[in-house]
Structure 1
Amino acid sequence: MSHEQYQSVIQSLHECMEACNHCYDSCLKEEDVKMMAECIRLDRECADMCSYLEQSLVRNTPFAAELANVCAKICEACGNECQKHNHEHCQKCAEACFKCADACKSIA
């Protein structure tokens, strides 16, 4: 598959990466940062993986399915953690993560 065929997945990956980076930054500013530690950690994991997969798909990686499978798992873990917190940035991040996980599963 060429990267043009992955365009909707690439868009979901980019949106998820942005949401995770925003959530990460916002979590660091929360009053109880220790309570947000797992959310912060998973935001970083997810943003990094989404960014890597986005770049890999644009490069037409032969490992698209394998990487997408891992990315879907990380997105789901991040979404599940973010969903536990009532902060707006966490809720928006969870939504982006679940959408991205579904997109990744479509090519995994």
Structure 2
Amino acid sequence: MTPPKYASCIQACSACVIACEVCASACLQEEDVAMMANCIKLDRDCADICRLAETLMARESALVDEFCRLCAIVCQACAEECAKHRHEHCQQCAQVCQRCVEECEAISMAT
């Protein structure tokens, strides 16, 4: 059962994991993969940190505030990188990452 105070942030993190994994996989299929290298790296970092943020929120860890602050930073970097690329998967990922930034910042600023 999801702790109610974290429900929307956990949902945003979950959506971000999926969007980042889809984006990274799609980037690997692009014609110029080398040009997409930073996007792929940030997608992977973002997906990993969002997974851990979900876990920490689910267990109501004492580290949630600090970790959500870090998660917001990584998601913002990913959103900015994805937004640079014209590919639909990058644009969608940027939007989902930005929503996660907003949710994570709300958690980290709540205390």
Taking structure 1 as the reference length, what is the TM-score of the superposition?
A: 0.97
Consecutive unaligned residues in structure 1, runs of 5 or more: none
Cα distance, 1:3 vs. partner? 2.0
Cα distance, 1:5 vs. partner? 1.4
Cα distance, 1:46 vs. partner? 0.2
**Counterpart of 1:38?**
38
Q: Secondary structure at 2:60's aligned position in 1?
A: coil
Which segments of structure 1 move beyond 4 Å, counting only runs of 4 or more? Answer: none
| Identical pairs, percent | 46
**Counterpart of 2:27?**
27
Cα distance, 1:41 vs. partner? 0.3
**Counterpart of 1:4?**
4
**Counterpart of 2:49?**
49
The correspondence of residues 62-101 of structure 1 with structure 2, limited to 5 A, is 62-101=62-101
Equivalent-residue separation in structure 1 for 2:56 and 2:20 (angstroms): 19
Letter matched to residue 101 of structure 1 = V
Equivalent-residue separation in structure 1 for 2:56 and 2:64 (angstroms): 7
Letter matched to residue 94 of structure 1 = A
Q: When the two structures are aligned, how many residues end up with a matched partner? A: 107
Letter matched to residue 20 of structure 2 = C
Q: Secondary structure at 1:106's aligned position in 2?
A: helix
Q: Secondary structure at 1:107's aligned position in 2?
A: helix
**Counterpart of 2:102?**
102
Letter matched to residue 42 of structure 1 = L
Letter matched to residue 98 of structure 1 = Q
Taking structure 2 as the reference length, what is the TM-score of the superposition?
A: 0.94
Equivalent-residue separation in structure 2 for 1:68 and 1:60 (angstroms): 12
